[in-house]
Every structure is written in C-alpha cells, then in structure tokens.
Amino acid sequence: MQTSGLLNTYFVDPHTWDEMYDQDRIREQYRHVVNYMQQLSLEELNRKEELARRLFMSQGITFTVYNSGEGIEKIFPFDIIPRIITAAEWSHIEKGIKQRLKALNLFLKDVYHNQFILKDGVVPIDMIYSCPHYLREMYQFPVPYDIYVHIAGIDLIRDADGSFYILEDNLRTPSGVSYMLENREITKRIFPDLLPLNNVRGVSQYPNILHNNLVSLSPRQISNPTIVLLTPGVYNSAYFEHSTLARLMGVELVEGRDLVVDNHRVYMKTTKGLQQVDVIYRRVDDDFLDPLTFNPNSVLGVSGIMSAYRKGNVAIVNAVGNGVADDKAIYCYVPAMIRYYLNEEPILKNVPTYRLDNPDHRDYVFKNITNMVVKKTNESGGYGMLMGNAATEEEIINYQAQIVNDPRQFIAQPVISLSSAPCYMQGKLQPRRVDLRPYALCGPNGIEIVPGGLTRVALREGSLVVNSSQGGGSKDTWVLEG
C-alpha cells in the first residue's frame, strides 16, 4: 500500500515546543496516532477531512454570517488530528486550575464584602474602582454557597521550554465547551478504534456534572426545580452551543422574552400559564441582563431579574459582577491572591505582565514594543490587540497614543512563542500554534475539571492568535489515562 509519507514535510521551528516532536523523536503519546495516520493514503485522509466537514454541517454545528440579508452557514474550522496531553501534564494543569479558581472565588467574595485584600494593600483599591465590571449592585449580596464562578474557561499556553502558563481567566460566560463535546464525537467517527487504543479519558460527563451543580443551587427546596438556560437567541454566534447544552442537560432553553418577573420571582411563559424558574444558567452578559438595572436598551434580558436575584428567589450562573476578577489588569494580581488567601505558591505561572498605568512599566514596554503583545483590559476574543512583532510603524504609533490617553485600559505581555501541534492542511502535515482551554465546574461539593478541553489552533502559518473571531480553528483534545 502506498503511504502518505506525511512526516517528511513536517518541519518544526527549533525555538518552539512541539506537542508531537521532541527534536527528531516522536513523543510517546503521539505514537499510535502517527502509526495510524501513516497507514493511510492521502485520499483516505482527505476523505476523513471531508467526512468531518459533512458531519458538522449536517448537525448544524455552524455559526451564521449575515451578509446582504442572507445567512451564510460556516463551520468553525476543525483539524482532524487530536492534541494529546499526558496524564502527568494533566494532573499538573488540574491542580493548578483548582488552586487558581479557589482563590478567584475567594477574591470575588472578598471584593464584594469586607474587602480585606484591598485594605491590606495586596490589590490597589483604584484597580477595583476603575474597573467597569465591578458592579456595586453586587455589594454585600451573599451568593449561594459563596460561589461566584460556577463555570470557568481558563486559557493556558505553553512556552518554548514546555511549561504551562495561564494566559487569561474567563470567568463570565466562557464558551466553546460544546466544541469539546462535539469534536470528540467527530473523532469517534473519523478515527474508529483509536480512542480506546490510546486510553483516552471521556468528556461526555460534563453536562451531567453541570446539571447536578445547577440543581444544587435552587433556592426552593423542591425535588424538581426548574432550571433554564438563558440565550440571547438564534442570531448569537454561540447559539448552537446553547441549544446543545440545554438538550444534553434536559433543561429549557429560554430567551429574555420568555421570562417575566412578578413580585421578585422569575417565571417562564408556557402553554399552561406561568411557571416559576429557580436556576438560570445565563449566556447573556451582565450588561444586558436587566434593563432596569444595567443597560436600559437591552432587549435580551429580563426586567426585574436583578431584584429577584438579590431577594434570593432565583440563582444566576455565573454570578453577576465576575468581570472584576478576569479583568486583564487584575490578572497580574492573581498570584498574589493565591498567596494571600491560600498561603500557597501558584502552581501555574502567569505570563509576565506589564501594567501600562505604571510609568516604569510603560517606558520599558514602549522601548521593547516589537517583542510585546499589548491588550485592552476589558476586551476579549482577540479584539483590540497589538502584536508588536507583526504591527507596522504607524499602527504602533497610533496605538501608543491610545495608551498614553488612558493607560489603565492596557496591559502588555512579552510575545510568547506558543507551542505547536501537527495539523493536516492542504494534504500536508504542518505545525500550527495552539492553546488550551479546560472547563472547570465549581459546585457546593468542590471543583471538577473534565479531562479534556478546547484546543484552539491558529490556522495561518506562523500566527500566534488562536481566537475563533481571528480565524482560529479547533482540535479534539485527548487526556490520556495514567
């Protein structure tokens, strides 16, 4: 049989950690996958790629781009070769995220109650009060079980020496978990028998764990509380994820217009009249949640929902006001929080971060701008970012003017050479940069992290930006049994 000779074209950048290659040797965890792929001809590989595309399309795992009045369905690009994480790597990641999440939940409780960490000067007070996501509406409000972050999607990257760093904490409404689940289903179809051969740990328990956590938050002590997932609607790019999660958990998927608040209780409008809602897993941002409290122009939210929340008649997941903890300027203080609240050393390192409201930091960053990534503290999804190594002279000058204008809104980090993983593209195996987003669930019984996550890929050669809004794709992520 003619084999594809796939590995002959795979050239790794020597200054980058490659997930598959250790110099010229294939890492142990990739052995089975490489063997399997080498037995396939190019036609077979192309057929598998096509099969994956068709499966996504037919299941409607798509997002719609509205162009000249007509919706065009696109699939989030998927690379067929899995990203593999060993048991040892995973156990390190798991410990590190649990530790970090624990500290972040304590921080949110503190910052909305006694504010010890501010009084002790560990986090400067003006950092909190200048953060637009610090919501006074949440001050002195006791959330159930002191849990603010029920679902976290903390992003990790890997430097040239292979060590993991935390890139950012997503503590508001992190998305992408449906791709973790669906990518695995697709892998089952395109690489039959390969999952058991590699002892890959399953991810399908995620919806059950989440559902159990949601049930436990119900303010009414009843056997069958009403749980809903609040979506902005079919035009939201993550709508597929919302309906998938609702289906997998067996809960009602609602829009703001399906809900109504009466006497500080939330109800949904059903064919049998109004039915009281106990727990809301919302995928609507804080600002749009309640037009009476936040943005008055919002039509996605529910009027009066915050009053019901503050009365304790409904639980909202994630809690409102979490943005203060995943602000990119607060990010620099998370290691200090871990030491302050837990008296432990951080297991997972932060990427070195320069705060641009500090004049010394700013001078340093401006001098070394070509080796820096500058980000806005309140943006996500890869928007409003300056990649110093790729920007033009003019872009840099304009950006610097913006920074001087309002330095609190910016942070800078050295350009980190993300690790690369093999991708099958245009009939060739090629290295592309990846990151990793595991999903952590925090309930009354502690934190659980499903062994897996979303691996995002920068599909353009040499690119370091993996966000889907910037042309990123995804991979199935395997965590191996130890």
Q: Which two structure tokens, joined as six digits, stand for 313?
A: 């008649």
Binding mask 271-310 for other proteins (x = CB under 8 A): xxx-------------------------------------
Q: Rounded to the nearest 10 degrees, how much is the dihedral formed by the CA atoms of 89, 91, 95, 98?
A: 100
Listed ranges 124-132, 171-179, 239-247, 314-322: which one lies at the site for other proteins (CB under 8 A): 239-247
Strand 21-22, strand 25-26: pairing: antiparallel
3-state secondary structure of 404: helix
**Is residue 254 part of the contact set for other proteins (CB under 8 A)?**
yes
Is residue 253 involved in binding other proteins (CB under 8 A)? Answer: yes
Report the residue from 34, 80, 117, 246 that binds other proteins according to the rule CB under 8 A: 246
Q: Could you give the angle at the alpha carbon of 115 between the alpha carbons of 110 and 121, nearest 5°?
A: 120
Q: Which residues within the stretch 69-128 sit at the binding site for other proteins (CB under 8 A)? A: 70, 73
Q: How far is CA 364 from the centre of its chain?
A: 30
One of 29, 59, 130, 173 touching other proteins (CB under 8 A): 59
Q: Specify the stretch interacting with other proteins by CB under 8 A; choose among 198-206, 265-273, 305-313, 371-379.
A: 265-273
Report how far residue 454's alpha carbon sits from residue 324's, in angstroms, rounded to the nearest whole number.
24
Q: For other proteins, which stretch binds (CB under 8 A), given 93-101, 134-142, 240-248, 418-426?
A: 240-248
- Kindly state whether residue 67 participates in binding other proteins, applying the rule CB under 8 A: no
| Bond from prior residue into 405 cis (ω within 30 degrees of 0) | no
185 lies in the site for other proteins, by CB under 8 A: no
Phi and psi (nearest 5°) for 418?
-55, 150
**Cα gap 399→393, rounded to integer Å:** 10
Looking up tokens 């490659």 gives 18
**What's CA 358's distance to the chain center, in Å?**
29
**Cβ 35 vs Cβ 25: under 8 Å:** no
* Comparison of 136 and 272: residue with beta carbon closer to other proteins: 272
**Nearest approach, Cβ of residue 472 and other proteins (Å):** 24
Residue closer to other proteins by CB (options 160, 248) is 248
Q: Out of 204, 270, 370, 445, which residue is the one contacting other proteins (CB under 8 A)?
A: 270
Q: Does 57 bind other proteins (CB under 8 A)?
A: yes
Cα separation values, 5 from 8, 423, 428, 432, Å:
6, 15, 9, 19
Least distance in angstroms from the C-beta of 287 to other proteins: 23
Is 188 a binding residue for other proteins by CB under 8 A? The answer is no
Binding site for other proteins (CB under 8 A): 57-60, 70, 73, 233-234, 239, 243-244, 246-247, 251-255, 257-258, 268-273
